[in-house]
Amino acid sequence: MKDLKQLSEAARVTEAWEDYIITKYGENKSSKETTAFRDYSNALETQPTVAAFYKENHEKQTLAHVLAMTEKYQSLDKAYLGVWEVLEILDGLVDESDPDTQMSQTVHALQSAEAARRDGQPRWMILVALIHDLGKYLYFEGEQQWTVVGDTFPVGCQFSNKIVHPEYFVRNPDYNHPIYSTKYGIYEPHCGLERVHLSYGHDTYLAMVCQNYLPAEALYIIRHHSFYACHTEGSYDWLLNEHDVEMMKWVKIFNQYDLYSKAEKEPNTEELKPYYQELIAEFFPEKIRW
């Protein structure tokens, strides 16, 4: 396998993309420097809610939990709702894990989509930007934020110290497990992320909800967009296969819209509604299973 060569090639390509997009964002519509996003360093003092969120999340996301949640939600028998309908429901959620926005998730969805649209992205990418966080609907099914939002990471193998707040893993029951605490744990090197159990949250859930409606690139972005330790920090490269290396570049492109649009002005939902309803209808039936 030519993994390493491919990985470095992919890194080069994605770096170029990043430069390109960051330059575009340099002309900037938002008031915040790109380096000011995702600052978890002083969370304990300045953003205690974020720190408390990751403490609970890192202590409770075990392999057993992920398997139980997969079992609970994989039948998609919880609700039958339209995509726009869920987008409106999410107006009732502010994400506790996010140091960069206090706005509702409907606002975040429209900000991301508008950023992708302004950049001339293809329609499927604009749609992904719009819906990527709709898996947070889990919260309205009664799940607590620690298993709905936040960055994701693999369970069943050693936790990387590139994950935000790695110090909170010491009280995770898997932390000292004889197999799950080893580097590879239950996985074969380069087995591919498809086989990997990521901590349970909105990504895994939404990828499942959308599986019959979107192209592979879109589903890949949705499933991995919160896996910052990998797509941004470069850890867990030993899990990736050639398909992941190929697909990861889409995640990087998407990530700019997700992250940097959070500082932009609040979009007018009613004004944007017709455009986005039409876009949704290009890919989805009126209602889908949740």
Ligand X SMILES: O[C@H]1[C@H](O)[C@@H](O)[C@H](O)[C@@H](O)[C@H]1O
Query: What residues form the annotated binding site for Fe cation?
Result: 108, 132-133, 202, 225, 258
**Closest distance of CB 264 from ligand X, Å:** 16
CA–CA dist 147, 96 (Å, integer): 12
Nearer to ligand X, 47 or 181 (CB): 47
Pick the closest to residue 264 from 109, 50, 136, 124 (CA basis): 109
Task: Extract the annotated binding site for substrate.
Answer: 38, 95-97, 136, 150-151, 225-226
| Rounded to 5°, angle at Cα 237 from 236 and 240 | 105
Query: Residues 6 or more apart from 256 whose CB is under 8 A from it?
Result: 18, 21, 22, 25, 115
Q: At what angle do helices 269-283 and 105-118 cross, to 10 degrees?
A: 70
Helices of type H across 27-152: 43-46, 48-60, 63-73, 83-89, 105-118, 123-131
Contact 262, 37 (CB under 8 A): yes
Minimum CB distance to Fe ion smaller for 171 or for 265: 265
Cβ pair 137, 89 in contact under 8 A? yes
Q: Which of 98, 100, 114, 258 binds Fe ion (CB under 5 A)?
A: 258
Smallest distance, Fe ion to C-beta of residue 55, A: 19
Stretch that binds ligand X, among 26-34, 117-125, 144-152, 263-271 (CB under 6 A): 144-152
Structure token pair of residue 74 = 């994989």
Residue type, 88: E
**Can you tell me which of 96, 133, 217, 244 binds Fe ion, judged by CB under 5 A?**
133
Selected range binding ligand X among 57-65, 71-79, 146-154, 229-237, rule: CB under 6 A? 146-154
Query: Candidates 2-10, 73-81, 222-230, 237-245 — which segment interacts with ligand X by CB under 6 A?
Result: 222-230
Query: Restricting to residues 104-143, which ones interact with ligand X according to CB under 6 A?
Result: 133
User: Of these partners, Fe ion, ligand X, none, which one is at the site of residue 114 (CB under 5 to 8 Å by kind)?
Assistant: none
Q: Which does 98 bind (CB under 5 to 8 A by kind): ligand X, Fe ion, none?
A: ligand X
Site membership for ligand X, residue 151 (CB under 6 A): yes
Q: Which residues have CB under 8 Å from 74's CB, separation 6+? A: 208
Q: At its nearest, how many Å lie between ligand X and the CB of residue 286?
A: 26
The option from Fe ion, ligand X, none interacting with 244 (CB < 5 to 8 A, set by class) reads none
What is the binding site for ligand X (CB under 6 A)? Answer: 95, 97-98, 133, 149-151, 225-226, 228
What is the binding site for Fe ion (CB under 5 A)? Answer: 133, 226, 258
